[in-house]
Amino acid sequence: MLKGNALVGQSGGPTAVINASLVGVVDGCKRLKRIRRVFGMRFGIEGVLGDFLLDLTAEKPATLRALRSAPSSALGSSRHKLKDPDFEPILAELKKYDIRYLFMIGGNDTMDTIHRVTEYAGSTGYEMIGVGVPKTVDNDLFGVDHTPGYPSAARYVALSVLQSGRLARDMQRVDPFTVFQTVGRSAGWLPAAAALAKMRPDDPPHIILVPERPFEEQKFLAAAEQAYKQFGFVSVVCGEGIAHADGTPVSASRVTDKFSNVEFGAMGGTSAAMALHRMLSSAFGWRGEFEVTESLQMCAADRGVKLDYDEAYGAGVEAARLAGKGTSGVMVTIERKAGSRYSSRFGTIPLKKVAINARPMDGKYIDEKNLFVTKAFVKYAAPLVGELPDYASLKIKKAKPFVRA
């Protein structure tokens, strides 16, 4: 078996539980005698290119234990897209620190990075094992039941809509509509989570728009008008990446990142929530609110789910265990076991499959009108998010005047 040091990095958008996975990798590696030290990349693969590694085995155990519940990315993150000239200096850095085990925590692009680095190292005769740990609040990684980070972000969305929905209900004479936007470039898992806040027919949200289905303006406006007539106000939840049938984003942005992904809400564009706000105001003359929380749902530790922290940590430990037995070129997956009560186990999937595939919401989770989700989705997401509060409400019934006998 290979003997040497390990290197771990965090990449892409953070989550409330990504540090739990980081500590899981470190703890798992410490159990392996063949791994002497564990280094961390400062700002992802950019730390390797810039010779900025941290010695994680030098950290106090108490610090690592506390880090398990700390939000965001402790090592610092990156969205650097690898170019051909990057590989030679990366390999030189790996050799310099005697890195034989490579771990990265992230999404599709991150898994592509591990795959390409380990493939390049192998092509030069340098033996190295690479294992990926899943992470994304979008929940769109191929081959998993769900990703670490999604349950906590989904709870953030559900609680936000539950609480802001009551505000919308009570302020309907001032602002008859609200539009809440979640992150999620091409997957609707997060906006769909808002459905968990709906306990009664009149509860928000009334409309959920996901990127998997084309946005139809007239259909949307008709549904909003119907909700207004029925409930006195309208609560809309949308994913940032909703688009028209021709593929044009509702946000109308044309700015892209290094991976050619549209930067929703960037310069030259707007946000989907703002665009929907304008449509409703123009069509009905209503005043309303749009709520765009951006990255807050990625790092809200106060709304973190214990299940999420435990699975994130376990995925890190599992990655180290797999590497220790010589398994390389795979990402750890979370698989849901059959049964009426939720339980899960870890599995694996080849990195190259994750790198080139995405996992949009299954059609069975989207209702036939493309304006809400189905009961099947609620059944899927509820055990991940956990129980939500059921706030008290007054019985809205007009009082009768007092009549003297």
The distance in angstroms from the start CA to the end CA of the chain is: 95
* Structural domain includes residue 392: no
Strand (E) or helix (H) holding 296: helix 296-299
> What's the whole-number mean pLDDT along residues 350-355?
95
Give pLDDT, residue 15: 95
Tens-digit pLDDT profile for residues 167-189: 999 999 999 999 999 998 899 99
Give pLDDT, residue 258: 56
Domain containing 160 equals 151-301+360-385
* Structural domain includes residue 33: yes
Give pLDDT, residue 85: 97
Convert 343-364 to b/e letters by CB count within 10 Å (16 or more is b): ebebebbebbebbeeebbbeee
Give pLDDT, residue 33: 94
What does the block give as tokens for 371? 């304006």
Give pLDDT, residue 261: 57
* Structural domain includes residue 403: no
Give pLDDT, residue 266: 44
- Which has more pLDDT, 227 or 266? 227
Please indicate, yes or no, whether residues 370 and 235 belong to a single structural domain of this protein: yes
Give pLDDT, residue 257: 55
Per-residue pLDDT band for 256 (boundaries 50, 70, 90) equals low
pTM reported for the whole predicted model? 0.93
Tens-digit pLDDT profile for residues 2-34: 999 999 999 999 999 999 999 999 999 999 999
CATH code, 85: 3.40.50.450
Alpha helices in 194-232 (DSSP H): 217-231
Give pLDDT, residue 255: 46
Give pLDDT, residue 405: 72
* Structural domain includes residue 324: yes
Please indicate, yes or no, whether residues 159 and 90 belong to a single structural domain of this protein: no
Token match 């991150």: residue? Answer: 110
> What's the whole-number mean pLDDT along residues 324-336?
98
* pLDDT above 60: residue 148: yes
CATH code, 161: 3.40.50.460
Give pLDDT, residue 283: 97
Active site residue 138: yes
**CB-based contact 204:159 (threshold 8 Å):** no
Strand (E) or helix (H) holding 49: helix 45-49
Q: What is the 3-state secondary structure (H, E, C) of 298-349?
A: HHCHHHCCHHHHHHHHHHHHHHHHHHHCCCCCEEEEEEECCCCCCCEEEEEE
Average pLDDT of the residues of the chain: 94
Q: What region does 83 belong to: left with phi over 0, alpha with psi -120 to 50, or beta?
A: beta
> What's the whole-number mean pLDDT along residues 80-84?
93
* Structural domain includes residue 266: yes
Give pLDDT, residue 262: 52
Pick the catalytic residue from 109, 138, 140, 308. Answer: 138
* pLDDT above 50: residue 360: yes
Give pLDDT, residue 267: 39
Please indicate, yes or no, whether residues 86 and 34 belong to a single structural domain of this protein: yes
- Domain closes at, from 316, 337, 356: 356
Please indicate, yes or no, whether residues 155 and 199 belong to a single structural domain of this protein: yes
* pLDDT above 80: residue 103: yes
Please indicate, yes or no, whether residues 365 and 285 belong to a single structural domain of this protein: yes
Please indicate, yes or no, whether residues 324 and 374 belong to a single structural domain of this protein: no
Number of domains in the chain: 2
* pLDDT above 70: residue 264: no
Distance from C-alpha of 373 to C-alpha of 367, rounded to nearest angstrom:
5
* Structural domain includes residue 65: yes
Please indicate, yes or no, whether residues 65 and 166 belong to a single structural domain of this protein: no
Give pLDDT, residue 254: 47
Please indicate, yes or no, whether residues 72 and 217 belong to a single structural domain of this protein: no
Give pLDDT, residue 268: 43
What does the block give as tokens for 153? 């972000």
* Structural domain includes residue 404: no
Judge if the upstream peptide bond of residue 205 is cis by omega within 30 degrees of 0. Answer: yes
* pLDDT above 60: residue 247: yes
* Structural domain includes residue 143: yes
Please indicate, yes or no, whether residues 194 and 289 belong to a single structural domain of this protein: yes
* pLDDT above 60: residue 154: yes
> What's the whole-number mean pLDDT along residues 77-101?
96
Please indicate, yes or no, whether residues 316 and 286 belong to a single structural domain of this protein: no
Beta bridge mates, 245: none
Please indicate, yes or no, whether residues 135 and 9 belong to a single structural domain of this protein: yes
Please indicate, yes or no, whether residues 342 and 364 belong to a single structural domain of this protein: no
Distance from C-alpha of 400 to C-alpha of 402, rounded to nearest angstrom:
7
Per-residue pLDDT band for 293 (boundaries 50, 70, 90) equals confident
